[in-house]
A and B are shown apart, each in its own frame.
Chain A
Amino acid sequence: MQAHPDHKYIAALQKNDSLLIEEIYSRYAIRIKQMVIKNSGTETDAADLFQEVLIELHRKATQQQFVLTCPFDAFLYLVCRNRWINELHKRKLPSVTIKGDEGFNLNEDVYENYEALVIKEKRKDLLEEKLAELGEGCRNLLSLAWSGKPLQEVAVMLNFSYAYVRKKKTECMSKLIDLVKEAPGFNALKW
């Protein structure tokens, strides 16, 4: 599917392009703030929510090739709104239906983009769940390998030979992949 011209905002979050990021804030911060304040939140809640959603979009684009195929404004609103509903659930506040779309055009495309984002999030959750089931040795080694350090360096840190670390890493990955594939939710996540 082709990227929407508004994908530029997602790319800006990937590259830390502060000019375009400021545009996101100047255009949408106030409306997200209003939504949160109208629904039992504070200004600080709104700021935290906005920041976490933007970080999430950065991660999804950088690590999981998320591509936006709908207008950014409605999409951002939907992501923030649903995340805020979750937060209200967590705080065990009673009325958690947020009425209205605040004038954003929440059409089918927007919901599809949101679903794509959610699937990526669920993949990550599943991976983390299965990673936790591996032994400590594998968990440590894989975490270090994913931290961006060259494997040679990881070997020095763990006091193993490079050859051993490399062999061990393929074994750990193999175990992780098998666990993930066996998980009941695996196919639904459309890998």
Chain B
Amino acid sequence: MADHNDPNAVNHIFSDIDYSPADLYDLFGWPTNESRNVVFALTFAAAPAAGVLDSDLLYRLLLTSHPRVAWPATGEVTVDSILGYFDAVKDKYLGELKTAEIRVTVKTASHVLVKFLGFPCGDFSTEVDVNTVVAITTPDGQTINAFIGGRDDAFFNDLTGFFRSINYAPQFYHVPHTMTEARELPIPKTLLELEGNDLFNYRENMPEWGVSQPDGTTPKLDLPPGPWTWNGNSFKKDSNGNFRFVYDGRDCRAGQNCNAIVFEMPHSFITPHTNENRLVNAWGESWVLKAAHKVESIPDNPSWVDHPWKVIREKEVDDELSKYKLVDTDGQPFADAALSEREDDRQLGANNFWLGPHFIKRLAHLGWGFGPSISALGLACSFDHDNSPVSVYKTYDLVATAFPRVAKTLFQALNMPDSSWNPKGLAIPLRRPLEIFIPNVCAVDMDTSGTWPFGRRLEDQVATRFLSMFLDMDAEFQGKKYHVDLLGDQALWDSAPIVPKTPPNPLHNDKAFLDAFPYLAEPWPENW
């Protein structure tokens, strides 16, 4: 009698996780061609390699265009009103708005099927070779530029600095997967090193500690036994009285590639009412084929290939999606990493409305860390931390207690550094963090340049702009209102008591972007 034929025989308990082509990196979007076109670029891990796609994957770019909406400026902001806002947006997204979709199914490593579903001109599809710019003619005679393939990763960011700021242990220590309590350690999040924070402070004898290396390794240490707490009461200062920045401004993605799905399409392809519908919202999704559908008794329905102009988006399409599992979503940068804590079950894309209350509590938690750091540098802070002289580790169970702390951070309008974002000089309201992150979409305002948060241009330093949420936008620096790029201003760091004197993140990508489609730079050579 067989008695030991249990799943243990095949249950592989991996010590780490490989690169996955389902891991979405970023979604960029901005208007082009004098606001007549819009570009969206969805980037993801270059696995198996840059320019080589995985045939078990399916990618979706979901799009909707509608009039510009803004938070009603009148009335007191309360927990009830904000929860009401979440509900209203939810109803809008799940009810009124019809989402169109570009679906990319990988047929082979070098060939994809692209389906356009739910657009005004009707459904159609085409096959495309990877790593090639192609012009796709739509049924109503418009032209869409498409590129699917390997590119230089357009993200430029001091990822190690970010992980140090949130005390994310797996970046610096060997943390077994079983130890779920040893991820973000219960130490105050901070932009400035904490005196005596031996678990995360920079080590001169290990300058590459926690920094991903070109060979794919990351120098890490053995996690010491707990408690992993911090009992200090001040920021660390050197003998010159300077704070130590947790960032050093390096580009942790330098020299690394991604795969990308890039489309440049007429706004009129998305909506017939381009004059009214000035916003184009988008989010990306990655799906992986279910095992059971890798083996099929019935061949793929060939109609999409044989009759690309005739297929109707009905049951067939839903049947296709039902064969896949949703893995990742991407709309706003840092919506996942900073605000959703990378939880798998929070991969909801635009439908992240129920996370609204969680966002408030999470933002308050971050505020207690970043807020005092900002104040210590002599900058005005949007988060109410009771003038705490040092970062505090604090979590919230109740939205009601967190909300008063973060109200300003959530609702303040984020100033832009100059007027270039609004080339037509229209009365476009500045955006507020609340509107930016709920729903989790890349919302391109067709009357703007599309720079974040009015979309996301390739050259935007979004990591630094994300931190600017914690600045008090009513304050001034050198006679000018605080703005989203202030923390990227070298003059600020030159005058601040801090080392290294650098903006937190690099100001530019490691490789120049292109002036023309597909805009992302050519990939770096890979050894495969």
To the question of whether A and B form a pair in one complex, the answer is no
The residues of B with any CB-CB pair to A shorter than 8 Å are: none
